[in-house]
Structure 1
Amino acid sequence: MRIQMHDFSGHLFPAELSRELVARGHFVDHVYSTQYASGKGTLERTADDSERLRFSPLTAEQPFQKYSPLGRVRFERSYAAVWQEHVRATAPDCVVACNMPLFALDAFRRTAARRKQPWLLWHQDLFSNAISEELSRRLPGPAALGGRDLVRRMEAGVVRSATQVVAIGEEFRQAYRLWGLTTDHVTVIPNWAPLDEITPRPRENAWSAQHLPAGEELRLLYAGTLGRKHNPLLLAGLLRSALAAGLPARLIVASEGDGIEMLREDLCREPQLPVTLLPFQPAAELPDMLGSADVLVTILEPGASRFSIPSKVLSSLAAGRPVLGLMPEDNPAAADIRAADGFVGPPTDFGIAGGVGWLRRLHRDPAAAQAVGDKGRALAETRFGIGPITDRFEAVLRTTVPGIPEPEGQPEAGAAPRLRPAHAASPRGFLRKVS
């Protein structure tokens, strides 16, 4: 099958899926946006990759303006035009649309219907909920209500029009039913993190030697997007509270955009605070960056829990480090953190206080910190095997494009996931208790 895997954001795990599909005999054109800033996967062909895999970066004529309503719509329409031209030029059997913004999706689904192009919506976020939150902030009541109704109908139309849908959680299926949609064409496949690429690494490594001071600091790392669904000041609050509790904490943030600039502005009032702020790091350096931390932090605002499941938690589990989440407790990612004996508290001062108490307990007991990280990695290894995950995606793809012959090199059904042994990690944790 000739598949266009179009991951707008360019993340790690869709690229892993593309490589696994190619290993099974498919031809994959992995497409992504050059204009969206985020942590990226390995988006170029390596010496180990087959010629059946190619990477196609797309650039719209309009600039990407994330928080300008009109600018954002102009960009998405422009991007949709470039995308549709690429589909026409490459003629895939199936298009997989992942992390695609809503207005671009809406434009594409109309063209796909006219051209009878089979396509699979890999639904990562309920965009209409996020846009509705933004409309409520910006517009008076009646105008916001009309805008919310418009984008809800638009996203429902996208879900209805897709040949097949892969949703990342049951919450999506429930939302579709509330929208009055049938869900016979919906399959739930949770996200994952690439176990071969994100492995437990020693705390002291080449990345930490380049970016962090040596010593016994308690390293709190946040790596990922800081958008409207995050409150960056929670990170500053966590650092200040940890320091006030006597913990030798350092905050490390790898991100770009308005969120990290808001955080920088807040932290610059106290230049003595132990902080390291960095841009997004290359995919090859991600394992060492995650491994350099004592605790990996994730945050999510209450309103965002209705439309977002933060996948960075999955990378944190694969990295074998304790995870601290400041997020609504009913978010599916919170359940993953708790399953690995991490900490989950609300994104408030109360949650920060509870998180600092958890940090202090682990700081007193490095063996307990090690056990928490190991449990997260073990959980990842039971769930993130790319073999079974690809089995499920292939089944959906065969339903999306019936009649396509099986590719050569197809592994036997139920074959064990292909996992590389994890890198041996040196003992780490929270070092010694502060006297």
Structure 2
Amino acid sequence: MRLQVHDFSGHPFQAELSRELAARGHAVDHVYSAQYSSGKGALERTPEDPALLRFSPLDSGRPFQKYSAVGRLRFEQAYARAWLEHNRRTSPECIVACNVPLFALEGFRRAAARRKQPWLLWHQDLFSNAISEELARKFPAPVAGGGSALVRRTEAGIVRSASQVVAIGEEFRNAYRKWGLDTGHVSVIPNWAPLAEIVPRPRSNAWAAAHLPERPELRLLYAGTLGRKHNPLLLADLLRSALAAGLPARLIVASEGEGIEMLRADVMKDPGLPVTLLPFQPAADLPDMLGSADVLVTILEPGASRFSIPSKVLSSLAAGRPLLGLMPEDNPAAADILEAQGYVGPPTAAGVSGAVGWLQNLIRDPSAADELGARGRALAESRFGIVPIADRFEEVLRRAMPGADPGSAFRSRAAHARHPGGLRRRAQNAEA
């Protein structure tokens, strides 16, 4: 089958799925935005990649203006046009759409309906909830209410129109039902992290030597987007509280955009504060960056918990480091942290205080910290195997393409039998 896996963000685990599907005999075109800054996965071919895999960066021809409503809308319209032109040239039999912004996705949906294009919505965020939160912050209630109703109708129409939907949590299916949608075409497949690419690494490694001082510090690392779903100043609060409690802590943040600039302005008020601020790091450096930390931190605001499940927690589990989350306890990612015996507290001063107490206990017993990291990695290995995950995606793709020949288009187990060492070889290379 000619598949397009379109992950706008270019994240690591979506690229892993494309590689696995290509190894099974599908011709996979992995599409992503060349203009969106985020923690990217391995988005270039390697010598080990299947011949049927290619990567296609898309450029809309317009600047990506994340925080300008008009600029963002124009970008999304231009991006939809670039995407549709790419589809016309490549003629995929089925398209998987993931992380594509709402109005670009709506432009694609209309074209797919006209052309009877089978497609699968891989739903990572409830965009209408996030946009509604933003509208409520910026506009009077009547205007915000009307805008919220419009974006919710748009997203509901996208879910309804998709040939199949893969949602990342049961919360999505509950939201669809509240919108009055039938959910017979919805499957839930939780996100994961690529175990072969994100492996536990020594604390002292090449990345740490290049970016961090050689001091006996407690390294607190946040790596990922700092957007409207996050309060970046919470990271500074955590550091200051840890230092006030006598912990020799250093905050390391790898991100880009408005959030890290807000954090930079805050920490500059305290000259000498042990902070390392970096841009997004290359995918090849991700294991060493995560491995350099003593604790991996995740933050999420209460309002965002209704529409977002931070997948950075999954990468943290795979990295084999203790986890600390300042987020609502009812978020599914919080459950993952707690299962790994990490700390979860609310994104408030009380949550920060509790986190510092947890850190004090952790630093007293390095062996306990090692045990927590090993527990997280074991949890990841028990859940993130790409073979059963890809099997489930192939089942959904089969339902999206009911006329496809299962003997030629879907060869999951037979293809895996031909490549039994593929995942293991990639893991060994990552560890080398």
Instruction: Give TM-score scaled by structure 2 length.
Output: 0.96
Tell me which residue corresponds to 2:44.
Answer: 44
Matched, 1:396 2:387: no
Tell me which residue corresponds to 1:68.
Answer: 68
CA distance in 2 between partners of 1:26 and 1:116 (Å): 21
Matched, 1:27 2:13: no
Tell me which residue corresponds to 2:284.
Answer: 284
CA distance in 1 between partners of 2:178 and 2:415 (Å): 36
Tell me which residue corresponds to 1:334.
Answer: 334
Deviation at 1:49, TM superposition (A): 1.1
CA distance in 2 between partners of 1:248 and 1:425 (Å): 31
Matched, 1:126 2:126: yes
Tell me which residue corresponds to 2:138.
Answer: 138
Question: What whole-Å deviation, never above 9, does each CA across 1:305-342 have from its counterpart, x for those lacking one?
Answer: 00000000000000000000000000000000000000
Maintained 8 Å contact 2:9/2:38: yes
Tell me which residue corresponds to 1:212.
Answer: 212
Maintained 8 Å contact 2:23/2:415: no
CA distance in 2 between partners of 1:403 and 1:131 (Å): 37
Matched, 1:411 2:395: no
Aligned positions of 1:313-328 closer than 5 A: 313-328=313-328
Aligned positions of 1:145-184 closer than 5 A: 145-184=145-184
CA distance in 1 between partners of 2:176 and 2:421 (Å): 32
Aligned positions of 1:175-324 closer than 5 A: 175-324=175-324
Partner SS state of residue 276, structure 1: strand
Matched, 1:378 2:382: no
Maintained 8 Å contact 2:5/2:18: yes
Deviation at 1:63, TM superposition (A): 1.1
Maintained 8 Å contact 1:130/1:304: yes
Tell me which residue corresponds to 1:115.
Answer: 115
- Shift in alpha-carbon separation, 1:413–1:379, aligned structure 2, 3 A: farther
Deviation at 1:378, TM superposition (A): 0.3
CA distance in 2 between partners of 1:282 and 1:61 (Å): 24
CA distance in 2 between partners of 1:341 and 1:171 (Å): 23
Query: Which ranges in structure 2 are unaligned for 5 or more consecutive residues?
Result: none
- Shift in alpha-carbon separation, 1:111–1:173, aligned structure 2, 3 A: same
Matched, 1:420 2:427: no
Question: What whole-Å deviation, never above 9, does each CA across 1:64-98 have from its counterpart, x for those lacking one?
Answer: 11111111111101100000111111110100000
Partner SS state of residue 411, structure 1: helix
- Shift in alpha-carbon separation, 1:425–1:413, aligned structure 2, 3 A: closer
Tell me which residue corresponds to 2:93.
Answer: 93
CA distance in 1 between partners of 2:174 and 2:121 (Å): 16
Partner SS state of residue 420, structure 1: helix
Q: How many residues align?
A: 426
Deviation at 1:135, TM superposition (A): 0.3
CA distance in 2 between partners of 1:425 and 1:76 (Å): 36
- Shift in alpha-carbon separation, 1:82–1:414, aligned structure 2, 3 A: closer
Q: Which amino acid aligns with 2:93?
A: D
Deviation at 1:417, TM superposition (A): 9.6
Deviation at 1:412, TM superposition (A): 4.5
Maintained 8 Å contact 1:24/1:407: no
Question: What whole-Å deviation, never above 9, does each CA across 1:238-289 have from its counterpart, x for those lacking one?
Answer: 0000000110000000000000000000000111100100000000000000
CA distance in 1 between partners of 2:33 and 2:428 (Å): 32
Maintained 8 Å contact 1:386/1:418: no
- Shift in alpha-carbon separation, 1:241–1:61, aligned structure 2, 3 A: same
Deviation at 1:411, TM superposition (A): 2.1
CA distance in 2 between partners of 1:417 and 1:133 (Å): 47
Question: What whole-Å deviation, never above 9, does each CA across 1:177-224 have from its counterpart, x for those lacking one?
Answer: 000000000000000000000000000000000000012100000000
Query: Which ranges in structure 1 are unaligned for 5 or more consecutive residues?
Result: 427-435
CA distance in 2 between partners of 1:296 and 1:180 (Å): 39
Maintained 8 Å contact 1:320/1:376: yes
**Bigger fraction of residues in helix:** 2
CA distance in 2 between partners of 1:414 and 1:420 (Å): 12
CA distance in 1 between partners of 2:182 and 2:5 (Å): 25
CA distance in 2 between partners of 1:372 and 1:386 (Å): 24
Maintained 8 Å contact 2:318/2:376: yes
Partner SS state of residue 318, structure 1: helix
CA distance in 1 between partners of 2:250 and 2:167 (Å): 37
Q: Which amino acid aligns with 1:96?
A: V
Question: What whole-Å deviation, never above 9, does each CA across 1:326-380 have from its counterpart, x for those lacking one?
Answer: 0000000000000000000000010000000000001000011011110000000
Q: Which amino acid aligns with 1:420?
A: R
- Shift in alpha-carbon separation, 1:417–1:305, aligned structure 2, 3 A: farther
Q: Which amino acid aligns with 2:413?
A: P
CA distance in 2 between partners of 1:49 and 1:160 (Å): 35
Partner SS state of residue 413, structure 2: coil
Partner SS state of residue 55, structure 2: strand
CA distance in 2 between partners of 1:20 and 1:425 (Å): 17
CA distance in 2 between partners of 1:150 and 1:366 (Å): 52
- Shift in alpha-carbon separation, 1:180–1:90, aligned structure 2, 3 A: same
Partner SS state of residue 3, structure 2: strand
Partner SS state of residue 272, structure 1: coil
CA distance in 2 between partners of 1:167 and 1:90 (Å): 26
Task: Identify which range, 393-402 or 188-197, moves more after superposition.
Answer: 393-402
- Shift in alpha-carbon separation, 1:423–1:325, aligned structure 2, 3 A: farther
CA distance in 1 between partners of 2:421 and 2:18 (Å): 15
- Shift in alpha-carbon separation, 1:417–1:174, aligned structure 2, 3 A: farther
Deviation at 1:120, TM superposition (A): 0.2
